[in-house]
């Protein structure tokens, strides 16, 4: 069984790409803002929530994406230690949505799903979200397998699909303009006490 979102491309890039950011601090630490930007573009395209994205979602360009990231920067700005709590992301993105002052901004809900919960619960949550055609913001902090997860440590990204095969539950992660597949149990089992987790979106009445 598998399910993948009808995600978006900007040119040949799978989603947006933090490497496009020319602002130095955003280039280094803008992953939280990029995750929120990609969420808005996806929901504008696939859920008709065009009030979330200030440009033309049907004509995506790198230039508009970079400009959008700077609009998101005040809400999810890079900082010492990074956006290392689910609540920090939710509060920042929530403020952006509130300041939009439109129905689309008010329709998007968020709740935390902490990394201390079991891998089985995480699997069920991811499956439920993707089946509802919603991307899943994921925060990975430390991980004992630094080689495999090198580009994902202390990083925000989106999960955009899953596949169950041979007893494994694999997820597709979107970041840096690429799609990467991981075993969710391996991704979830960081080996560290301080954990990240996921943010679960919900859509209210629009």
Model confidence over 101-111: pLDDT tens digits?
999 999 999 99
Residue 114 is predicted with a pLDDT of 98
- Using 50, 70 and 90 to split pLDDT, how confident is the model at 206? very low
How many angstroms separate the CA atoms of 136 and 95, rounded? 19
Report pLDDT digits (tens) over 184-198: 999 999 999 999 999
CATH code for the domain in which residue 153 is found: 3.90.70.30
* Contact (CB, 8 A) for 144 and 190: yes
- Is-contact 88 94, C-beta < 8 A? no
Q: Which of 170, 195, 185 shows the shortest CA–CA distance to 1?
A: 170
Contact of 15 with 9, CB cutoff 8 Å: yes
Span 22-79, pLDDT tens digits: 898 899 899 999 999 999 999 999 999 999 999 999 999 999 999 999 999 999 998 8
Q: Quick one: DSSP state of residue 5?
A: -
Range of the domain at 113: 2-203
Domain count, the chain: 1
3-class secondary structure per residue, 21-77: CCCHHHHHHCHHHHHHHHHHHHHHHHCCCHHHCCCCCCCCCHHHHHHHHHHHCCCCC
pTM, entire model: 0.96
Dihedral sign from CA coordinates of 198, 133, 37, 44: negative
């Amino acid at each position: 069984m598998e399910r993948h979102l009808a995600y978006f491309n900007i040119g040949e890039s799978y989603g947006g790409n933090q490497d496009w950011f020319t602002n130095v601090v955003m280039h280094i630490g803008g992953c939280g803002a990029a995750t929120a930007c990609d969420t808005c573009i996806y929901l504008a395209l696939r859920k008709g929530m065009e009030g979330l994205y200030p440009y033309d979602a049907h004509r995506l360009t790198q230039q508009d994406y970079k400009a959008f990231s700077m609009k998101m920067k005040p809400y999810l700005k890079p900082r010492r230690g990074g956006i290392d709590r689910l609540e920090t992301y939710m509060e920042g993105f929530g403020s952006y949505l509130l300041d939009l002052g439109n129905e689309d901004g008010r329709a998007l809900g968020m709740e935390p799903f902490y990394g201390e919960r079991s891998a089985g619960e995480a699997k069920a949550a991811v499956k439920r979200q993707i089946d509802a055609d919603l991307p899943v913001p994921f925060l990975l902090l430390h991980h004992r397998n630094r080689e495999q997860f090198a580009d994902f440590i202390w990083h925000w990204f989106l999960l955009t699909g899953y596949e169950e095969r041979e007893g494994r539950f694999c997820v597709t992660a979107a970041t840096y303009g690429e799609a990467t597949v991981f075993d969710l149990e391996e991704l979830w089992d960081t080996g560290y006490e301080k954990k990240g987790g996921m943010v679960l979106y919900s859509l209210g009445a629009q």
